[in-house]
Amino acid sequence: MKAVVIGGCGHIGTYLVPRLVKAGYQVVSVTRGQSKPYLPSHAWDEVENVILDREEEEKDGTFAKKIAAMNADVVIDLITFKAESTYQMVEALKGTNLSHYLFCASIWAHGHATIVPAPEDLPRHPLEDYGINKAKSEAYLHEQYRKDGFPETVVMPGHITGPGWNCINPTGNLDPLVFQKIGRGEGIVLPNMGMETVHHVHADDVAQVFMNAICCRGQALGESFHAVAPHAMTLLGFAEAMYAWFGKQPDISFLPWKEWCEHTAVDSFINSTWSHVTHSDNYSIEKGKKLINYNPRYTILQAVEESVNSMLERGVITV
């Protein structure tokens, strides 16, 4: 059995590719050749690495055709950000040896939720281009399955977390100095009352959802599955837990949104926090547990602890 992983050296691929190798798949990892897996594994010695620049090759419509020419049984697409890319890929894969196409969407395809924890079948109300394109791809894939039997499954990760990169902090953005302040016992400021929620997931648990969907193909075809930790956390709860992890007393204050923006003063952090507080992510994994035996290994705090330890080891923060 042959599996092609598009974006194989990224957050998810670092954990998914070795799982596929250990399961006996002949694995092809497709990347731009600009990154390496975050963690070492002897499994990579058995992987065929193919360098393709998706963005450039999609301009003349050749990328999807090159993937199709690999004649894989399973194609796992981790780096599609435009709906047009999904349309091209599906058309190219029709008529090949394909038995399963797995697409990496995002919880942000939901937009705002009306029920929490939100199940996968809530109507979509995406808020930003990223979520809009993921939602369009998801809807198109499910339509192709219903109409033509195209063998697809959609996986919707939360805030992907793990060693080797910075993760979302208790203020809802990627500023690593928030963790540094917590680690030093210094004060941090949360927007509003800190009651908005975030829903992280360890990259290995996302890889588990993909792998379980492949192994439970019959139950997974035509379905979407959340890939998140067992429970979401409020920003306040997240902050308090991180102070406790560092062995510090919480020093947390609050500001209304406008004042918090003035206090933060960095547009990229403000925009990221706005995205997270307006989504207030909180998603159910009951469907994945029932249909494909999803059993996350990491809580949010366990996933974040690995990421923060990595930031300390890499000198991103010092305490």
- Residues 137 and 268 placed together within one structural domain of the fold: no
94 and 168 part of one domain: no
For tokens 């990169």, the residue is 165
Residue finishing a domain among 184, 212, 227:
227
Give the pLDDT confidence of 219-231 residue by residue, as tens digits: 999 999 999 999 9
User: Can you give the CATH number for the domain in which 27 is found?
Assistant: 3.40.50.720
Task: Give a yes or no: residue 26 inside a domain.
Answer: yes
> Same structural domain for residues 73 and 131?
yes
293 in a domain, yes or no?
Answer: no
Q: How far apart are the first and last CA of the chain?
A: 48
What is the C-alpha separation between 231 and 201, in angstroms, rounded?
A: 10
- Report CA 88 to chain centroid distance, whole Å: 22
| Exposure letters 135-170 (e unless 16+ CB within 10 A, then b) | bbbbebbbebbeeeebbbbbbbbbbbbbbbbbbbbb
Is there a domain that residue 137 lies in? yes
Flag whether 290 is in a domain: no
CATH code at position 241: 3.90.25
* 285 is a domain residue: no
- Same domain (yes/no): 125, 189: no
Q: How far apart are CA 248 and CA 257, in angstroms?
A: 26
How confident is the model over 280-301, as pLDDT tens digits? Answer: 999 999 999 999 999 999 999 9
The C-alpha atoms of residue 79 and residue 103 are separated, in whole angstroms, by: 9
Do 10 and 154 fall into the same domain? Answer: yes
Q: 150 and 21: one domain?
A: yes
99 and 112 both lie in a single domain = yes
- Statement to judge: residues 122 and 168 lie in one domain: no
- One domain for residues 99 and 244: no
* 169 belongs to a structural domain: yes
**Identity of the amino acid at 141:** L
Q: Looking at the whole model, is its pTM more than 0.85?
A: yes
The count of structural domains within the chain is 2
Instruction: Please write down the HEC assignment for all residues of the chain.
Output: CEEEEECCCCCCHHHHHHHHHHCCCEEEEEECCCCCCCCCCHHHHHCEEEECCHHHHHHHCCHHHHHHHCCCCEEEECCCCCHHHHHHHHHHHCCCCCCEEEEECCHHHCECCCCCCECCCCCCECCCHHHHHHHHHHHHHHHHHHHHCCCEEEEEECEEECCCCCCCCCCCCCCCHHHHHHHCCCCEEEECCCCCEECEEEHHHHHHHHHHHHHCHHHHCCCEEEECCCCCEEHHHHHHHHHHHCCCCCCEEEECHHHHHHHHCCHHHHHHHHHHHHHCCCECCHHHHHHHCCCCCCCHHHHHHHHHHHHHHCCCCCC
How far apart CA 285 and CA 181 sit, in angstroms, is 33
Q: How far is CA 219 from the centre of its chain?
A: 22
Closest CA to 291 of 238, 221, 229, 239: 221
Domain with 79 in it: 2-160+200-227
**Is 25 inside a domain boundary?**
yes
Task: Tell whether 193 and 149 lie within a shared domain.
Answer: no
User: Can you read off the two tokens belonging to residue 225?
Assistant: 């599955």
Q: Closest Cα partner for 101 from 123, 132, 80? A: 80
Residue 247 lies in a domain: yes
Instruction: Tell me the C-alpha distance between 152 and 129, whole Å.
Output: 23
- Mark whether 98 and 173 lie in a shared domain: no
| C-alpha torsion angle, residues 300, 306, 312, 316 (rounded to 10) | -70
List, for the chain, all residue ranges whose pLDDT scores fall below the cut of 50.
none
Report CA Rg, the chain.
20
What average pLDDT does the structure give for the chain? Answer: 97
- Asked if residue 174 and residue 51 are part of one domain, the reply reads no
Q: Are 305 and 182 in contact (CB under 8 A)?
A: no
